[in-house]
Amino acid sequence: MSKESKGIGPAARLAALVLLGCALFAGLVPPDARAEYGDVVINNYSDKSGMRPVVFPHWFHRIRYRCKVCHADLGFKFQAGGNDINMVKVIDGQFCGACHNGEVAWGIENCNMCHSGKNGTPTQVHESTTNSLVGGGTRPAPAAAGGTK
Ligand code: HEC
Ligand code: HEC
Ligand code: HEC
């Protein structure tokens, strides 16, 4: 078994753009939605429970699934940190657990695959890669933090 694809080719980019276009057209995306493919850091509970924050690689998922799969069928709201996810729900097959169940994708025993952020990183959309995020030196602007409650 080898690595199946290396990086994101122009075709995949185009496909993603087309999908995005469709979603915009269908009115699925709020007008202020970002067209960027930033990672989403989710940290409503992780730090408080002694886990590293979750880094959700949006681009990686967007090139594999239509927006609708997650944002309509699975009910993910278009807001970083806006879904009140916890491990009971994930194990129960909701949110990430709809796919990360050892069948569609690797299962929840791989804690560090999801809990890969740097401790103390607030919930936000991060415009760059997981690497630079984990590498530190990130100082998010307050406006980038994922909403207030
Ligand atoms: C497929 C992704 C994924 C995997 C794998 C995963 N988690 Fe999580 N986990 C999440 C998400 C998303 C949240 C919500 C993050 C937040 O808001 O802080 C979360 C939250 C948590 C929380 C805080 C909320 C709660 O339920 O208490 C703990 C503790 C936790 N995870 C532990 C674990 C442990 C231990 C493992 C491995 C056995 C694990 N997680 C594997 C996605 C994952
Ligand atoms: C595999 C699931 C999945 C797919 C496919 C997906 N998203 Fe998301 N999206 C998420 C998750 C998870 C979040 C973060 C939610 C949270 O933090 O609770 C999110 C957050 C967002 C946000 C708010 C954060 C930001 O970046 O501004 C927007 C907008 C968004 N998605 C748009 C899209 C669009 C447009 C598509 C299709 C091109 C898409 N998503 C495809 C799972 C997905
Ligand atoms: C619609 C299905 C689906 C949902 C929902 C989903 N994932 Fe995934 N995810 C996948 C698939 C498929 C892969 C690729 C698995 C593989 O390579 O074996 C993946 C891979 C990943 C990876 C590894 C990326 C890489 O660079 O290899 C991470 C991290 C991840 N998911 C986190 C999450 C988190 C966190 C959530 C919930 C917020 C989530 N996923 C929700 C289907 C999904």
- For ligand 3, whether the C-beta of 110 sits within 6 Å is no
Backbone angles phi, psi at 105, to 5 degrees: -145, 170
- For ligand 1, whether the C-beta of 99 sits within 6 Å is no
pLDDT reading at 139 higher than 80: no
What pLDDT, in 10s, does the model give residues 23-64? Answer: 444 444 443 344 346 899 999 999 999 999 999 999 999 999
Which atom of ligand 2 is closest in space to residue 95's alpha carbon? Answer: 12
Question: From edge to edge, which strands make up the β-sheet containing 39-42?
Answer: 54-56, 39-42, 124-126
Q: How far out from the chain centre does Cα 32 lie?
A: 18
Ligand 2 midpoint to CA 117 (Å): 18
Which amino acids bring their CB within 6 angstroms of ligand 2?
19-20, 23, 29, 33-34, 38, 40, 42, 56, 58, 61-62, 65, 67, 69-71, 76, 78-83, 85, 125
Considering the segment(s) 10-140 as one domain, its CATH architecture is: Alpha-Beta Complex (3.90)
Domains of the chain, by residue range, sit at 10-140
Burial zone of 144 (CB within 10 Å; 0-12 exposed, 13-18 middle, 19+ buried): middle
Sign of CA dihedral 112, 118, 123, 128: negative
What pLDDT, in 10s, does the model give residues 75-117? Answer: 999 999 999 999 999 999 999 999 999 999 999 999 999 999 9
Ligand 3 midpoint to CA 136 (Å): 23
